[in-house]
Amino acid sequence: MEPSETITTQVALQKDRDYIVRAWDSVAEPTVIVEGDGAVVRDLDGREYIDCSSGLFVMNLGHRPDKVIRAICEQANRVIQVSMRQTTLPAIHLAEMLAKITPGPLCKTYYTTSGTESNEAAIKMAKIFTGKYEIIALKNAYHGLTLGSLAATSSASYRSKVGPLMYGVVRAPNTYCYRCPFSYPACDIKCAREIEAILKDEAWSTCTEKNVAAVIIEPVQGAGGIIPPPEYLPMVREICTRYGILLILDEVQTAFGRTGRMFACERWNVTPDILTLAKGVGGGIPLGAVVTTSEIAAKFIHATTPTSSGNAVACAAGLATIQTLMEENIPARAEEMGQYLKEGLSNIEPSEYVGEVRFLGLMGGIEFVTDKKTREPFSKKQMALLKQAALEHGIIVSTSGPLGNVFRVQPPLTITKEQADRVISGIEQALRVVASA
Ligand SMILES: Cc1ncc(COP(=O)(O)O)c(C=O)c1O
């Protein structure tokens, strides 16, 4: 292996193509990142970028967080991995911390190694606890790529050619107010009421076998930053309770300060029966967790656990991350910087292409349209050009959304105002490139 100084970007990218399976096509070359610091990452040629993807929405404290690195090194010097038939102090302390900071009766943690695995485990827990097998999931949902979570994920491109997937997923509408035919608040939150209609077999376009175990929802949909109206989650919670169905909240992406609270569900005072976590829970080291009640945990006697679940280094990193988030009041900072970015991005020019800018804390999405009245979305080609132009202006940002016309703006929660200004101006300059193309 060549040290980074002696390998060129061209050679590195060729080796990347030769040896790494990326499972996608027709996207721009990856950027070879060699180091990061806070909201900034640097490539092999020394170019700097603001990372609005936070390492795929993991690095909430930013890149190279001192206290987390210290915790990782100290733990790695003691013990890295044990069998889950033994235990370690970081695994115990992180589970205790999660019991303390998650709402209501959530108090028991089952460790996994990723978000998809957390959702698989949550679905199994719900099935075992209720003795039922159907799961209600939303349109535009992303819950992971393994065959159970993938069944709850809605994107056709991820699902095609690998079926049949887990049986029994029933689809409900998502809370896409910007393109909903029923306008808020006159809609009377039809999207939540539809879940009850599904349970009563009165839904417009779907039915169940009257065997629903749970509803699984991301409090804010990661694909497109789709924020529900304030009534939505409390209504869904109430419906689930009334019908004896479990509510699984997938906070793989929204937890740990991202939406301006430690957990997004706090924003609406909603407590799920099962909370799924990954990404930030390991402070950048792969880890997942399912946090649930004693009653549900007691029935989840499922023989064993994944090999690397509760890895000691990952738990130590996660614990240091949570402690830092709390000590430095980072969720409040996310709230403030989210508002700052929302205001700045709402005023970029040419404004006729900015359909909607939505932020909850630092979970942001900008929806680009060719016409504000018709809301005609930017094409795939325009979005590819926009993303490439943003990269050339020093901004790493990902494209998403039900129509593929949304920039996800989710930088580390520690982003400074000066860096946020660079994001606003970088995206504005990129938009001008597309406007003049
Ligand atoms: C909301 C949500 N759930 C689940 C997942 C899957 O997590 P992982 O990629 O760690 O399996 C993701 C990943 O992006 C996610 O955003």
Per-10-residue mean pLDDT, the chain, length 437: 73 92 75 96 97 97 98 98 93 98 97 97 98 98 97 94 96 97 95 98 95 98 96 98 98 98 98 97 96 97 86 98 98 98 97 98 98 96 96 96 97 98 98 95
Q: What is the pLDDT of residue 371?
A: 95
| Cα-based distances in Å from 193 to 154, 172, 196 | 20, 10, 5
Which ligand 1 atom is at minimum distance from the Cα of 254? Answer: 1
**Upstream peptide bond of 164 is cis (omega within 30 degrees of 0):** yes
- Residue list, ligand 1 pocket, CB within 6 Å: 114-116, 119, 142-144, 218, 222, 250, 252-253, 278
Query: Which residue's C-alpha comes closest to atom 9 of ligand 1?
Result: 115
Q: What is the pLDDT of residue 2?
A: 52
**What is the whole-number distance in angstroms between the Cα of residue 149 and the centre of ligand 1?**
9
Q: Which one of 57, 120, 279, 398 would you pick to mutate in the ligand 1 pocket, going by the greatest count of ligand atoms within 8 A of its CB?
A: 279
Nearest residue to 112 (alpha-carbon basis) of 331, 274, 272, 221: 274
**What is the whole-number distance in angstroms between the Cα of residue 267 and the centre of ligand 1?**
21
Q: Alpha-carbon distance 45 to 64, whole Å?
A: 19
Beta pairing class for 212-217 and 134-138: parallel
Which ligand 1 atom is at minimum distance from the Cα of 279? Answer: 10
Q: What is the pLDDT of residue 1?
A: 47
In a 13 Å sphere around the CA of 114, the CA atoms on its Cβ side amount to: 10
Q: Which one of 253, 281, 285 would you pick to mutate in the ligand 1 pocket, going by the greatest count of ligand atoms within 8 A of its CB?
A: 253
Nearest residue to 254 (alpha-carbon basis) of 392, 90, 58, 92: 58
Beta bridge partners of 66: none
User: What is Dmax (Cα atoms) for the chain?
Assistant: 65
Do residues 212 and 136 touch, judged by C-beta distance below 8 A? yes
Beta pairing class for 108-112 and 288-292: antiparallel
Beta bridge partners of 248: 216, 274
Q: Which helix (H) or strand (E) covers residue 367, if one does?
A: strand 363-371
Do residues 232 and 175 touch, judged by C-beta distance below 8 A? yes
- CA-based torsion, 332, 178, 156, 218: positive or negative: positive
The phi and psi torsions of 291 (rounded to 5 degrees) equal: -110, 130
Q: What is the pLDDT of residue 302?
A: 77
3-class state of residue 399 by DSSP:
strand
Nearest residue to 126 (alpha-carbon basis) of 21, 274, 332: 274
Q: Alpha-carbon distance 276 to 256, whole Å?
A: 12
Domains of the chain, CATH where assigned: 4-64+329-435 (3.90.1150.10), 67-327 (3.40.640.10)
Report if pTM > 0.95: yes
What does 127-181 look like in DSSP terms, one character per residue?
A: HHHHS--EEEEETT----SSHHHHHH---HHHHTTS----S-EEEE----GGG-S
| Cα-based distances in Å from 385 to 43, 186, 381, 435 | 20, 38, 6, 10
**Upstream peptide bond of 103 is cis (omega within 30 degrees of 0):** no
Q: Which one of 116, 138, 287 would you pick to mutate in the ligand 1 pocket, going by the greatest count of ligand atoms within 8 A of its CB?
A: 116
